[in-house]
Amino acid sequence: MTSGTRPVPIPADLRRLELVTEYGTGLQTTRVHRAQDGGFLWWQGPGAQVERPLTAPAAHLVPHLAAETGAALLTVPEPAGDGLLHRVAGTASAAAWLRDFRPQARALVAHSLASAARALRALHAVPVPDEVPLGTPPGLTRLRAWAYGSSELKDRTLAVWGEDRMARLLGWADDLAPDTTRDTTPGTTGPRTRSLVHGWASLGALIPPLSRGRVALLTGEDLAAGRPELDLGWLLGELVELAWAAPPHDSSDLRRVLLEAYGPGPDPVLIGRAAVLRVVTHMQDFAIYRGWDDELLGYIAFTAELIDEEGRRAVPQGVS
């Protein structure tokens, strides 16, 4: 364990339950336990490099969606120790299922993405009271901190990107989820974005059922204010990254499933830009919480291409 880190405690009331799997990084730890009722408990807590407990202060805004809607269950967590506990029907995320090349596994992921899209559309329609202190998604907060800070990854990235690409990326972040702590310029025009967004809609947070039950999307900690395209692009960015990093993963069918299930309305240009933000966020999170790896040199070149094309490869043609 490196200097400045701390051990991650297991909540006492989970110790007696069977541990199915455990994984994590310096950012977050995940443990999956088998519940006594036959379901599963996903506990997520701070990683060894995070000094604060996980909370979900805006979870009361999350709607309960009936199974008849075909939407995923937006699971609202319960506090447990210094982490959050979700009750779901599966032991593995959609990200894990995508590593299974059987046709039925891919069909399960496609079904899960369609369910997630319907759930996100319902979430995005929830009115957000002005008094609710929703800020920027934590992922974009970390991205901005990296862009304005100093690190080996930033130096190497700027050497390839140049200042212009970095400025464009930060502009997209401001368009999709304004940083309200920085948006204080006199004369700023236009309404503030007040859509409720998941903030970290990802394949790792999407849990298909093991046998029976509903697809679940772990929701709560990252709830924020932003544009709906942010959540859609976040998922599409992961699929595009997977297709690049682990061929022969052709994700075009899955990306189309997601957008068609969500329905019309979102701006495809903003979706593409959000997809780029997701890949860059993953790149910088990896460098911060796992350390430098020469694999990141490939990511720097790849993200430069994504910025130049504004993430257009993430959005299937003919879907709007």
Q: Which residue has the tokens 């304004």?
A: 178
pLDDT digits (tens, 9 = 90+) for 113-133: 999 999 999 999 998 887 777
Q: Which residues of 197-218 are buried (b: 16+ CB within 10 A; e: fewer)?
A: bbbbbbbebbbbbeeebbbbbb
Q: In this predicted structure, which of 133-137, 242-246, 270-274 has the lowest mean pLDDT?
A: 133-137
CA 215, distance to chain mean position in Å, is 16
Comparing CA positions, the residue from 215, 214, 234 lying closest to residue 224 is 234
Confidence at residue 188, expressed as pLDDT on a 0 to 100 scale:
41
Domains assigned to the chain: 91-314 (3.90.1200.10)
pLDDT digits (tens, 9 = 90+) for 189-242: 344 457 899 999 999 999 999 988 999 999 999 999 999 999 999 999 999 999
Q: Which residue has the tokens 């299937």?
A: 316
**Quick one: pLDDT band at residue 10, thresholds 50, 70, 90?**
low
Q: Which residues of 40-72 are buried (b: 16+ CB within 10 A; e: fewer)?
A: bbbbbbbbbebeeebebebbebbeebeeeebbb
Cross-sheet strand order for the sheet of 216-218:
73-75, 216-218, 206-207
Find out whether 215 and 207 touch, Cβ atoms under 8 Å.
yes
pLDDT digits (tens, 9 = 90+) for 49-75: 888 999 999 999 999 999 999 999 999
Confidence at residue 312, expressed as pLDDT on a 0 to 100 scale:
96
Comparing CA positions, the residue from 80, 97, 73, 66 lying closest to residue 35 is 80
Phi, psi at 311, each rounded to 5°: 70, 20
